[in-house]
Chains A and B, each alone.
Chain A
Amino acid sequence: MSLLGEEEEALKLSEVQTLKGHTDRVWGLAWNPATGADGVPAILASCSGDKTVRIWQQQQQQQQPQPQQRSCSSPSFHCKFRIDAKEALVLTLRFSFVLITTEARELLFGKQLATASFDAMKMLSLLLEDRHDRTVRSCAWSPSGKQLATASFDATTAIWEENGSDFECVSTLEGHENEVKSVSWNSSGSLLATCSRDKCVWIWEVLPGNEFDCVSVLTGHTQDVKMVHWHPTVDVLFSCSYDNTIKVWAEDGDSDDWHCVQTLSESNSGHTSTVWALSFNVTGDKMVTCSDDLTVKVWSVDIVRLQSGDIHASWCHLCTMSGYHDRTIFSVHWSREGIIATGAADDAIRLFGESEDQSVDGPAYKLILKKEKAHAMDINSVQWSPTGNRLLASASDDGTIKIWKLESMQGTLNHSSPNTL
């Protein structure tokens, strides 16, 4: 479905819900790819400077059926309720202390509790947060949705698995010398990549029984590596760094011999300052990157060549969007529909889409929408929901996560307003 259609419809980003619970800045978000469709409630993981990871689950609310309007559900999120033998006692106590403020609850129970808003019944959730000693910087779900990897400044990466109604840490990946900044699973879930301030990228193989073996330590970046991300269809790894470059890593044959096949630097129209994030479009033939140099760049590759196994298929610069941001852009994400969302240090979310006017040099991108003051502080992460429902999640230094819906200005097909959620 073409985003803008024949008549350009005006779009707006409406706030669906604010998720509060983290007590420090929220660094990263990840939607569980196996949820959100076919009646399965969507699940969102968030990681924070408060050293915890919170898991939020969409709750379907029953709407009164009205004959004139389409019946639909208004999505609302609550922090997923988890209970085990120890926490059952806490739960009993909780009901009698329901009026006590969050801070007092923390004192009594000695753990961080999250309360979700918008529900008549306050749902509490306890997270097993004693795993990481420092900020959890990034989280990523495996493609099957069964495991969650979390990368932390304590130089470890933890792998969590759902066990009944709880999550337990089934493995810890150690090896980096200092803060791990990002973690990413490949499309088949057989490989995991992590990167760190130690300038290295580690590739791990996922073995049965929750074993993770390091298959390669990739050096090449000259500074802190900010993010790693696998290509959506082929096993080619991308990393972006404080050294202003993006490196492409691939394996020669099947020999575990990973090496850098391409570096996108200033000399090939690359960024002139720290590259913070990258994202692929749904087909994998285009990549978008964002940087401290206040620009967003789009790159493309001959996807047929790449998918046929030619690891040296090179990426070339397609388009630079400059002049739209005036502070560092921390996050960029390409939706399945083709909309690029950016989250920046000026507290705003911007959406870009392919422009109808094709220039001679190729497709151009234009700003569709700018949501100013989307948050009270810097936005660290924006992530589109993997299902095609135009939901966008954003995480900020203010400790909140907001869920947005992109819809047309004329009036919504969902007849809910934010107050009723």
Chain B
Amino acid sequence: MTLGLINANPIVREKKERINRAEAADHDAIDPLDIYDILNLISIDLVHIVRDIRDPEHPYSLEQLSVLSEDSITVDHNLARILITFTPTIQHCSMATVIGLCLRIKLKDCFPPHFKLDIKVAPGSHADEEAVNKQLNDKERIVAAMENPNLRQLVEEFDGSRSFSFDRNNKLSASNTSRLASEIGSSHSARFTSYEKLMRLDHHVDYIASNNNRSRNVTWRFLTKIFSLKKSSGGDSEEKMSVPSKSWRPDPNSRWPLQGW
């Protein structure tokens, strides 16, 4: 299990100069390059999806990370179908489903409603290709995911105008670094081993009043204690850490992206 970033060393390509295409004869036709341009504006910071670190590490566009290319988008006007294939940067990318969801939501208003959009990972690019593709194209799951306020907030952050980042409270102490490392380890493993518990936590977030923040922190503290690799400074700093729930940014203590939405 890798600690720290999911993909610490993404392969970054040069931004290609776009050769200007002649104006399309049919102005109503959907130009795959238009869709591509929209997607290219998404400044995605893969690291920030899973943890809250102040400085963005990889603020590269999807094109530069080879997640998307011009060939990724196919439009069939006769059948009114659009197919988008994207390539996650690593074979076991756990964020593939979230990326796919973001792409879909981003493109929702870019074509007439009768067009059908399919989003898939490029063949051979992901270890669970079939499962990811199935989830990415299950309409009911997509709608349910978007009604989940935390996931919705996450997805809505994928915007070219600002890079996706979490802010930490200014009250952080100097022991931040060590605490951060422990949280990275704990949260990472916690995510992989305690997914079911997280689902229940998330459920409680939605339906129980904020005075239950304490109980959530108790469970979270318990999990981090079990899995932390460095000694954290104890429960106190965790309590100071509780971000006010009114903040537009998701509470880092209790919400993690749900890959299995």
Contact = CB atoms under 8 A, between A and B. Distances in A.
Interface of A: 25, 49, 134-135, 137, 153, 155, 177-179, 181, 197, 224, 226, 242, 273-274, 292, 327-328, 345-347, 376-378, 397-398
B134 A177 contact: no
Contact of B143 (A49, A226, A292, A346): A49
Nearest to A176: B203
A197 B207 CA distance: 17
Given A25-B143, A197-B144, A376-B113, 9 more contacts: A135-B144, A177-B200, A178-B199, A224-B141, A242-B134, A242-B141, A292-B138, A376-B114, A398-B113
Contacts of A327: 116
Given A155-B203, A178-B203, A345 B116 contact: yes
Interface residues of B, dominant DSSP:
helix
Contact of B203 (A153, A177, A292): A177
Contact of A242 (B138, B147, B199, B203): B138
Contacts of B114: 347, 376-377
Contact of A153 (B113, B138, B144): B144
A377 B144 CA distance: 19
A23 B140 CA distance: 17
Interface residues of B, number: 15
A135 B143 CA distance: 9
Interface in B125-145: 134, 138-141, 143-144
A273 B134 contact: yes
Interface string B58-79: 0000000000000000000000
Interface in B15-39: none
10 contacts: A134-B144, A153-B147, A155-B207, A177-B200, A224-B141, A226-B140, A242-B138, A274-B134, A346-B116, A397-B113
A242 B140 CA distance: 11
Contacts of A155: 203, 207
Given A197-B144, A226-B140, A274-B134, A377 B113 contact: yes
B118 to A, nearest CB: 9
Given A153-B144, A153-B147, A345 B139 contact: yes
B182 to A, nearest CB: 29
A179 B138 CA distance: 14
Interface of B: 113-114, 116, 134, 138-141, 143-144, 147, 199-200, 203, 207
Contacts of B134: 242, 273-274, 292
A412 B138 CA distance: 40
| 7 A-B pairs closest in CB distance | A134-B147, A179-B144, A153-B144, A153-B147, A376-B114, A177-B203, A377-B113
A177 B140 CA distance: 17
Contacts of B199: 177-178
Interface residues of A, dominant DSSP:
loop
Contacts of A49: 143
Contacts of A224: 141
Contacts of A346: 116
Contacts of B140: 137, 181, 226
B232 to A, nearest CB: 30
Contacts of A197: 141, 144
Contacts of A181: 140
Nearest to B112: A376
Contacts of A179: 144
Contact of A378 (B139, B203, B207): B139
Contacts of B207: 155
A181 B144 CA distance: 10
Contacts of A153: 143-144, 147
A224 B141 CA distance: 9
A397 B108 CA distance: 14
A242 B142 CA distance: 14
B246 to A, nearest CB: 19
A398 B203 CA distance: 30
A161 to B, nearest CB: 25
A104 B183 CA distance: 51
A398 B140 CA distance: 15
A347 B140 CA distance: 16
A234 B157 CA distance: 51
Contacts of B143: 25, 49, 135, 153
A121 to B, nearest CB: 31
Contacts of B144: 134-135, 153, 178-179, 197
A135 B139 contact: no
A197 B203 CA distance: 12
A49 B203 CA distance: 20
A158 to B, nearest CB: 15
A122 B147 CA distance: 33
Contacts of A345: 116, 139
Nearest to A51: B147
